[in-house]
Structure 1
Amino acid sequence: MTEVSLTRQLAAFVTRSRWEDLSEKVRHEAKRSILNFFGTALGGCRDQATQTAYDVLKQFAGPQTATIIGRVERIDSLNAAFLNALSGNVFDFDDTHPRTIIHPTAPVAPALFALAEERRITGAQLLHAFVLGVEIECRLGNAISPGHYRRGWHITATCGVFGAAAAASKCLGLDEQQIIWALGNASAQSSGLVETLGSMSKSIGVGNSARNGLLSALLAERGFAGPEQPIEGPRGFLRVTGDEPNFAELTDGLGERWEICTNTYKPYPCGVVLNAVIDACLEVRNHPQLNLDKIQSITVEGHPLLLERTDRPAVTTGREAQVSAQHSVAVTLLTGEAGVEQFSDAAVTNPEVLRLRSKVRMIENGSYPVGAARVTLTQADGIEISVRVDDARGSSNRPLSDAEIETKLRKLAAYGAPGIDPTPLIEAVWTLDKAEDASMCLQWARL
């Protein structure tokens, strides 16, 4: 008997999966992920990167049939997927799959909502496809982590395009062979480099993962054929971009455990490894003996990954600050907050932030788990304040509640799209599984 390829097994899983296979827990987590996405997309819808991308794309766009979240303008479906993924990820405030650090929703949800404005899709169909897309992208990530990211691949973009392709394929009703083609088409467009983090270029990779994933499925629907083993083949995605791929991660427990149930949601708009650092700084700031004017030195101690990702003492823009421990420490201690405004260009050039930032030193400690950190502050009067955080707010052990995600959406809407009332949007997401037309959500997410 011929062994069934891994790519075909994944395609068959997507084809055969039923809405009834998803537990209420899985369905609810999908809604939480989408709610969080709408918040981050509303917050980023007028960022300079989003605006510049729109100004360029509109010159070449097709029929203006699709929503750009948070804005009055419309654009064609493929470019809407690109722009909405970009705005949902631009502040680095989106969800995180802890094992891989993939931000799962930004590549998948924008592709599905763009498709929903072209084809009639129910809310349940969109949620089901979304869960499947997240499953595919995160299982691919599991199979090549941690080597893939360490080699410099931006895993949200590289794996996200497969998730978007699988999700769109499900909504289009593609058969097993067509889904294999869609995944093959996605493999030809998988790209994104860690070197771009802290710049606008990062968002191109994430935007393309949504756009190109949707394109991959639409091409496959028309018979645009791809390779039979784009994922595990000798020159396929896993072998080319991974060190020693763990192929079993693709299918072990498939349909029994769901990656979306491990999803987490950021409380701060920065790299996820900084969450514990910020939590520690907020606790330090509330210490009764703290005197900001007497600070002599600040040390940040954590896992080597914390230094690898965030030891950036000389950032000059808000985007760079999203992955700078030195800036995060300084601005949080000074303001007592860590929101979008604290990671703006203005905050980065604030003289008081610069002064305090120069006092921050980082220490590598391999005994710390990833995601843990200690912040120690020494004052001129001899007082030392030290706080260690092992489980950051928003982590798997301290997840944001539904109410906290709603509050996050409201704050981001007020920041990026103040003309939008978030209440109907929030209600539409919580009841999405009952909607006859999934695109109805978007009427509450645009001006």
Structure 2
Amino acid sequence: MAAQSESSSSRSSTNRHAGHATQRIAQWVAAATWRDVSAAVRHEAKRALVNYMAVALAGCTDPTLDKAVRVYQRFGADRSAGMIGRCERFDMLNAAALNAMSANVFDFDDTHIPTIIHPSAPVAAALLALAQTRPMTGEALLLAFVLGVEVECRIGNAVSPEHYQRGWHITSTCGVFGAAAAVAKVLGLNARQIAWALGNASAQAGGLVETLGTMSKSISVGNAARNGLLSALLAADDFSGPDAPLEGTRGFLRVTAAQPKIEALTDGLGLEWSLLSNTYKPYPCGVVLNPVIDACLDLRRDAHWSLDDVERVELTGHPLLRERTDRPAVRSGRESQVSAQHAVAVALATGKAGLAQFSDSAVGDPSLRAFGARLRFIDDPSWPVESAQVAVVLRSGDTISRRIQAARGSLAAPLADVELAAKLHELAAYGGSGVAPQPLIDTLWRFDGEADAAVLMKLACAN
């Protein structure tokens, strides 16, 4: 009887969360103010936007964006919104989509731990598009950004890790909710309308892991921003949705995960902030490869051997490392961003791991492709995802290894503000748009004092 009582109590608790989660989130978003946000979270929001601008300026001239721009230009209601690093203008829905694509195209954007969501691209792109068509202050945009990131990451926590393992691209599926909540906030929607915006977003959540390494992935990331913006605009006109789009019997959580953690939506809401678990990459690849590259660069720095001397490379890490990056014989720079075989080969061969090392040109090097076949994975569930060990086994029988406990850019070893600023300078130069990075950096550090949030896009668009 005691066991039955305990089980009933557990179900009752779950049902309490299930019955009101969407409404509690909507009420919280409606009521939240800038005063509720701690200084640490405020600063992290600015850091996230510095990183967002950096990666968007790097990706703005990628062939993926060139192709998307040509197609999107055929459509649109007006030309009210610009694109980061480019001179073309679009309606705000298409501008949101393209600016989210640009920020994610190189997989160099921020990463929320533990969901592995790239939170900024969908939310920032939607807000920056709207800011060009509707007056808002920098403080209002930052608050909405913080809230949108919180919503998408809490939804991600509720379905992780099963959601991604089942094949859902979590940045896209959860990002649409973050964009919807953020835009709903700056539009001044009430709690009922915000819940409708989340319901409208639930009808447009999509994205598959199978698309990683291809241009197709950019479609769903772009749609997360575009459709989240659309969801809130519809809700502003009382376009109604379901009462429980997240936790309902056939809502997002239960459809996309067999055992969702519904309590993750609201536990600690307003007290615990997802942005404090956000990280920024030093390398343009999947975040689980960061410790691998750190180890390889260390090994290469002290090497008294050549690649020809290597019998095999043993890569030890969390099983997620193999699940996400066991991709031999990649065919494009995009595929190489999620390939341990390529990352190990190029880092050991060149001692570098920048955008040039994860390009189509680098992938075309036959010696790197051949070396990747020597990689062996060793799974160890006890290892955290931000750590890894690379052991180089030489033909002589000697083994040289490096273990990284916390990858550069992880929560335990975060990039400093000056490193994020340097990243913006470097990636702006790589993208070749001609946009000056320093005015963007200066504006972002003081963005909560800006009277017009649209100033950021005026600085970010190419002339």
Normalised to the residue count of structure 1, the TM-score between the two structures is 0.98
Distance in 1, matches of 2:205 and 2:142, equals 24
Distance in 2, matches of 1:54 and 1:230, equals 33
Return the offset for 1:192: 0.6
Distance in 2, matches of 1:391 and 1:147, equals 24
**1:141-160 equivalence runs, <5 A:** 141-160=156-175
**Are 1:97 and 2:112 matched, yes or no?**
yes
Distance in 2, matches of 1:152 and 1:219, equals 29
1:299 corresponds to: 314
Contact 1:181–1:224 at 8 Å: present in 2 too?
Answer: yes
What secondary structure is seen at the aligned counterpart in 1 of 2:460? coil
**1:12-23 equivalence runs, <5 A:** 12-23=27-38
**Are 1:270 and 2:270 matched, yes or no?**
no
2:458 corresponds to: 443
Distance in 1, matches of 2:328 and 2:377, equals 10
What secondary structure is seen at the aligned counterpart in 2 of 1:5? helix
**Are 1:405 and 2:416 matched, yes or no?**
no
**1:33-44 equivalence runs, <5 A:** 33-44=48-59
1:259 corresponds to: 274
**Are 1:28 and 2:43 matched, yes or no?**
yes
Return the offset for 1:223: 1.4
**Are 1:234 and 2:258 matched, yes or no?**
no
**Per-residue displacement from partner, 1:285-313 (whole Å, max 9, x unpaired)?**
01242333322221212111111111111
2:4 corresponds to: none
2:82 corresponds to: 67
2:236 corresponds to: 221
What secondary structure is seen at the aligned counterpart in 2 of 1:43? helix
Distance in 1, matches of 2:255 and 2:107, equals 27
Contact 1:291–1:379 at 8 Å: present in 2 too?
Answer: no
Return the offset for 1:4: 6.4
Distance in 2, matches of 1:67 and 1:305, equals 38
Return the offset for 1:257: 1.2
Percent identity over paired residues: 57
Distance in 1, matches of 2:370 and 2:109, equals 30
Runs of 5+ in structure 1 lacking a partner?
none
Distance in 1, matches of 2:239 and 2:60, equals 33
2:216 corresponds to: 201
Runs of 5+ in structure 2 lacking a partner?
1-15
Contact 1:71–1:417 at 8 Å: present in 2 too?
Answer: no
**Are 1:7 and 2:10 matched, yes or no?**
no
Contact 2:297–2:351 at 8 Å: present in 1 too?
Answer: yes
**Are 1:429 and 2:444 matched, yes or no?**
yes
Return the offset for 1:381: 3.6
Instruction: Decide which of 397, 402, 415 is 1:387's aligned counterpart.
Output: 402
**Per-residue displacement from partner, 1:230-251 (whole Å, max 9, x unpaired)?**
1111111111111211111111
**Are 1:335 and 2:347 matched, yes or no?**
no
**Per-residue displacement from partner, 1:217-238 (whole Å, max 9, x unpaired)?**
0011111111111111111111
Distance in 2, matches of 1:387 and 1:110, equals 39
Distance in 1, matches of 2:199 and 2:370, equals 51
Contact 2:330–2:363 at 8 Å: present in 1 too?
Answer: yes
Aligned residue type for 1:193: L
Distance in 1, matches of 2:417 and 2:127, equals 23
Contact 2:61–2:433 at 8 Å: present in 1 too?
Answer: no
- Alignment RMSD: 1.4
1:77 corresponds to: 92
Distance in 2, matches of 1:48 and 1:118, equals 28
What secondary structure is seen at the aligned counterpart in 2 of 1:444? helix
Instruction: Decide which of 60, 72, 94 is 1:57's aligned counterpart.
Output: 72
Distance 1:47 1:370, change over 3 A: same
Return the offset for 1:33: 0.4
Aligned residue type for 2:237: R
Contact 1:284–1:290 at 8 Å: present in 2 too?
Answer: no
Distance in 1, matches of 2:297 and 2:182, equals 39
Normalised to the residue count of structure 2, the TM-score between the two structures is 0.94
Distance in 2, matches of 1:177 and 1:211, equals 21
Contact 2:19–2:247 at 8 Å: present in 1 too?
Answer: no
**Are 1:351 and 2:366 matched, yes or no?**
yes
**Per-residue displacement from partner, 1:377-428 (whole Å, max 9, x unpaired)?**
1223443211111210100100000011111111110011341110101111
Distance in 2, matches of 1:330 and 1:6, equals 47
